[in-house]
Chain A
Amino acid sequence: MSAQLTAPKQYSQPSRKGKKAWRKNVDIDEVQDGLRLLKDEEIKGGVLAEKPSDELFTIDKAGAPEIRKAYEKQHKPLKSDEILSKRSAIPAVDSRKRVNSKVTDGVIEPKTKRQKSDWVTRKDWLRLKQVAKENKPVNLTTNKLYDPWAENEDETPAVEDPQFDYLPKPKPKVAPDTIKRAPTSLAANGKPVPAVRTPGAGVSYNPSFEDWDRLLQEKGQQAVEDEKKRLEEERKEAERQRMIEEAQHDNGEAKSDDESAWEGFESEYEKPEWLNKKRPERKNKTQRNKIKKRKEEERKARWEAQMKKKQDQLAQAAINGATAEQRELYHAQHSSDESDEGDDAVLRRRPLGGKIPVPEKHLEVVLPDELQDSLRMLKPEGNLLDDRFRTLMVQGKLESRKPITQPRKPRREVTEKWGYKDFKVPGL
């Protein structure tokens, strides 16, 4: 606000032209300036003159940065202090997942006890190693139970798109008929071996004497024969060893030669007897053909004669009406070879593949001193696990082979390194 108070007057008139020079137009610049100032101050946060002094003044406690700079120039802080002083007092945001970060009992656990999400126990770790070694990771989810033989309600028919009806339809996978063929039985008579043979009368825990005695005699005879065979083989082997021994001892010169020479015989190099024999002439092709033809005819004639004989016999039998006898005969033929199941004790000579024979069947008979008539005192014979395994082989479902207990390791050659000999004498 201006200090001098004068009467209102018009604007100073540099010219009389214009509206400003009119009488009624009073110069109010001063008032307007004042109002503007007031407005400006209000915009800037209030009228300064009206403000309390607290708002207008502050006490400077920070100190001058120049002085600080100058001071720091003289007393330089350590680098470590500098780094440490950079750390924020506010804890950083934790980005790590925690198993149970929410609920704590307030006691800080030691680090060793803290749970790790991907912890694997030692047992599990060993199992994993085994799995990796055996190529056998398996999913141990239990099978869903249902009835596979139930009537299939709806086989969802494939959606046929008329757009692609020119394409040939995929053929269903049909199992070959060979897959249905029964396995090759190893029984000597070639008949299929049942999974569980009906037990004989002699293997009862409390058998009747005759049955047991028959079984014992049979098995006993078999055992004696086997033992004889074994002894014979042993003897042969010993003989062979002896021969080898002898052959090693004599040093290649013929002993008898000198003696025979002394006695006046001198063996010459003469041909063996069979070389002297005259060999038959070689037959040519026509001759061979002729012989073949003749033999064929002879065979045919023989066969026809036999058939005729049989026919005659049959006719005669029909006349005699010996139907009962025929049936009897039929029975006889069938009774000799009656059982339609193979004997799993007597096997054919060659196993299916390979050279390893099927293991021998365990002897399943109670010896006289072990024969008990009480179930409590029964001493079971045989080994069912072996028996089951053997049956599978005899049925031809498995090839017989030896289980590999210790696999062969690759052979490594051991050599001596010669590096230590490759030296140079420094002077030369």
Chain B
Amino acid sequence: MGKIKKKGTSGQAKNYITRTQAVRKLQISLPDFRRLCIFKGIYPREPRNKKKASKTSTPSTTFYYTKDIQYLLHEPLLKKFREQKALAKKIARSLGRGEVGDASRLEKNHAPRMTLDHIVKERYPTFIDALRDLDDALSLLFLFASLPSTTHVPPKTIALCQRLCHEFQHYLIATNSLRKSFLSIKGIYYQATIQGQDIMWLVPYRFVQRVNGDVDYRIMATFVEFYTTLLGFVNYRLYSTLGLRYPPKFDTRSDDTGAELAAFTLEGRAVGDAPKAVEASTKQTNGNSANQEVSREVQEKVDKVIQSAGLDKTKDEKTVETTEESTDAIDKFEPTAPEADTLPQPDLSVEEAGALFAPFTFYISREAPKAPLEFLLRSFGCKRIGWDEVLGSGAFTHNETDSRITHQIVDRPALPESALPPIPAASENSATPKVKPGTRIPGRTYVQPQWVWDCINDGKLLRPDLYAPGATLPPHLSPWVKPSKGGYDPRATLAEQEEEGEAELAEDEEESDEEMAEASEDKKADAKAEASAEDDSSEEDDSDPGMDVADSDDDESDSEEEVEDFDGLEDDAASESEDEEETARSRHQKELEAEAAGLPFSSHGGAADDKKGKKSSQAKKIASKKRKEEEELERQKMMMSRKKRKLLEKMMHSNKKTSDEAAKLRSKRRKLEKSEK
């Protein structure tokens, strides 16, 4: 007989502690315990066997690691919580005695000061750690910044959240580090890259947040408290890396008049010279260029000295310079072999992002969402943004007729003249001349807001006529959804995603059953799919003057094609027999038609016979190749374990489904393109 061991002294019973036990051990109230856990990042745990972990028979309990709770005993905040409790008791006593003055004095002078600084440092030992966890913080703070103030959400908290969010946005604008954005039905997604970390957050649309009772506001307020501290420090760090003073100058008066981002003025932190404003309008003329000139002069002098001294160091220096220059540009990952993986391609570089909207002047109409548009335009290089007066102050211009405006963002269809109400005549004394709604001022481009988002996600300027007011917009695609292998990609050209020999086959088919296809097409075509196809096809012939920036075939899609070719093989093998069948059927159809017309079939196909023969030989070659591959696959399948075989079959089935669908869409598009020609 072994040694008798007491129950509950080792193993799970010792490693885990229930919530009630933890609260008793720390001698604080349950709400305080919850706050402390949130601050310190201590989460409920799940023992493998709840019965073994708990000493009671109560089944529904939350467990924590005993070590975590033991560690909490050293927490300075715990002491603060206790002090708070003691003080609250004193205040309650004074109030009970009617000594209100005493109570308020106690509260004013003796309330313990709670800081979460040390916790921020403890939970995020490095700055990168903090950046990694910024998704949640940003989403929550942007959400709270747009909430209406209630008893649960005091206006002070909202103002703090707004300020921090705007400061963060200013950093993104200053560094052009925003990369992607997406308009979803929930809100607007943004993705920025800061120091190599991708940060994504979700911002709600304005004025739609309902506040309901399902949410525990005390818990959310605790999170907000922690995250505001975190974002404050992150902002400080980010600003100081840029050499900017933090907090930036905040103009309360212009904030009251609705200038959201424009209420802040960034200032340099240089000791010697006076703080120079890096405000949008003055940014072009700041001392950067002068600095460069100085450095160039110095460089020349140094060069001269070195030459006179006859040293050979110049080469080295030059190489150093070039490496410094090229650090910003990131190499594209190109697969070396056709069977290699497609690697995620790097996004826009900082310069590209900063230059996208730089030469333009925008005007945001009254009905368009100003806040996201302003943020996006600014962070992609636009310096001059005007908007209607009702959208708040801080604009480049409130005058819609300003001749400097190159683009106007409108989100309202053009209405006929009769549908509009008559304009009130008494608008002479207003500062800005009123423009009749619906009128177009010549010399500028009118676009819908989606144009901005699509341009940003594509990294180039798109044709604005597709996004003209009143036009049916092309679908707004998510920048994070990459087209699956073998799937249809509306962004790529047809030639890039076609399978081997698909176009030829399609041509053959079309020759044969043109009438049939046309008849059936109208029935089948979905308006959406058509629109998308149309958009992309027209996107390729980038003939708009002054608009074409990037050539349509990127390296990315090239590599994709290669890969696709590789993995599309076995799917093709499966569908190849079907294709053959189809061609046979079409031939039969042709024969029938010829018969009906009273012509001999041979004469009909006589001229094109050798051409067809050539094509068919090519098709045969492809088919044989496919067949061989299929056989090889079958052979290998035999060797696999059943589980793996099942998996492979499943995968192939789904692949085939997507490729079939893609082929269908491609054929539609091919027809459309042909009809356009």
A residues with CB within 8 A of B: 117-120, 124-125, 128-129, 131-139, 141, 143, 145-149, 173, 175-176, 178-179, 181, 183-184, 194-196, 198-201, 203-212, 310, 313, 316-317, 320, 322, 324-325, 327-329, 332-333, 335-336, 352-355, 359, 364-366, 373-376, 378, 380-389, 391-392, 396-399, 401, 403, 405
Contacts and interface: CB of A to CB of B under 8 A. Distances in A.
B88 A196 contact: no
Given A313-B639, A353-B19, A383-B209, A389 B412 contact: no
Interface in B452-504: 472-473, 475-478, 480-481, 490
A329 B135 contact: no
Nearest to A322: B636
Given A380-B185, A387-B186, 5 more contacts: A204-B182, A325-B633, A336-B651, A353-B63, A375-B369
B639 A316 contact: yes
Given A146-B236, A317-B639, A388 B140 contact: yes
Interface in B540-565: none
Interface string B633-667: 10010011100100110110000000001000100
15 contacts: A118-B101, A132-B95, A134-B88, A135-B88, A141-B113, A146-B236, A196-B202, A201-B481, A208-B477, A210-B526, A316-B639, A381-B186, A384-B202, A392-B219, A396-B44
Contact of B44 (A179, A352, A382): A352
A212 to B, nearest CB: 8
B411 A376 contact: yes
B200 interface: yes
A173 to B, nearest CB: 5
Contacts of A320: 636
Given A329-B648, A336-B650, A359-B214, A208 B528 contact: yes
B585 interface: no
A198 B480 contact: yes
B199 to A, nearest CB: 9
- Kindly state the interface size class of chain B when it binds its partner: 35 or more
B120 to A, nearest CB: 6
Given A205-B476, A207-B476, A373-B472, A382 B339 contact: no
B247 interface: yes
A179 B63 CA distance: 14
Interface string B211-226: 1111110011001000
Contact of B95 (A129, A134, A184, A383): A129
Contacts of B121: 148-149
A143 B232 contact: yes
A29 B457 CA distance: 138
Contacts of A353: 19, 44, 60-63
A139 B114 contact: yes
B334 interface: no
Contact of A403 (B41, B211, B215, B411): B215
A208 B651 contact: no
Nearest to B217: A403
A131 B71 contact: no
Contacts of A118: 100-102, 104-105
Dominant secondary structure at the A interface:
loop
B143 A143 contact: no
Nearest to B665: A210
Interface in B66-90: 67-68, 70-71, 74, 84-85, 87-89
Nearest to A384: B204
Contacts of B351: none
A403 B233 contact: no
Contact of B237 (A120, A149, A178, A365): A149
A385 B183 contact: no
B60 A206 contact: no
A138 B481 contact: no
Given A124-B104, A209-B526, A195 B62 contact: no
B532 A208 contact: yes
Given A132-B95, A205-B185, A354-B62, A139 B113 contact: yes
A397 B114 CA distance: 23
Given A179-B41, A208-B477, A376-B412, A386 B185 contact: no
Interface stretch (B122-130, B291-299, B390-398, B428-436): B122-130
B608 interface: no
B182 A199 contact: yes
Contacts of B214: 359, 386, 389, 403
A204 B68 contact: no
Contact of B74 (A125, A173, A336, A399): A173
B229 A136 contact: no
Contact of B475 (A148, A208, A333, A355): A208
B29 interface: yes
A183 B126 CA distance: 20
A143 B117 contact: yes
B140 A196 contact: no
B3 interface: no
A135 B29 contact: yes
A249 B21 CA distance: 49
Contact of B46 (A125, A352, A392): A352
A365 B186 CA distance: 9
A250 B320 CA distance: 99
A344 B661 CA distance: 28
A160 B662 CA distance: 76
B669 to A, nearest CB: 13
A131 B65 contact: no
Contacts of B136: 195-196, 391
Contact of B185 (A138, A139, A366): A366
A208 B490 contact: yes
B189 A384 contact: no
Contacts of A385: 143, 147, 209-212, 215, 220
B478 A205 contact: no
Nearest to B59: A355
Sorted from nearest, which 4 A-B pairs have the closest CB atoms?
Answer: A209-B528, A118-B101, A353-B62, A195-B136
A366 B67 CA distance: 48
Nearest to B96: A132
Interface string B25-65: 00001001000001011111110000000000000111101
Contacts of B246: 145
A303 to B, nearest CB: 14
B43 A131 contact: no
A368 to B, nearest CB: 12
B122 A386 contact: no
A128 B91 CA distance: 8
Contacts of B212: 383, 385-386
B263 interface: no
Contact of A149 (B42, B92, B127, B413): B127
B153 to A, nearest CB: 10
B340 to A, nearest CB: 9
Contacts of B233: 145-149
Contacts of A380: 185-187, 204-205, 208
Contact of B567 (A194, A206, A328, A359): A328
- Interface-centre pick from B130, B184, B210 (highest chain A CB count, 10 A): B184
B527 interface: yes
Contacts of B237: 147, 149
B441 interface: no
A137 B473 contact: no
Contact of A332 (B63, B85, B223, B647): B647
Nearest to A323: B339
B103 interface: yes
Contacts of A376: 367-368, 411-412
B510 interface: no
B201 interface: yes
B450 interface: yes
Interface in B550-597: 567
Contact of A204 (B147, B476, B526, B633): B476
A347 to B, nearest CB: 14
Given A129-B95, A195-B136, A149 B130 contact: yes
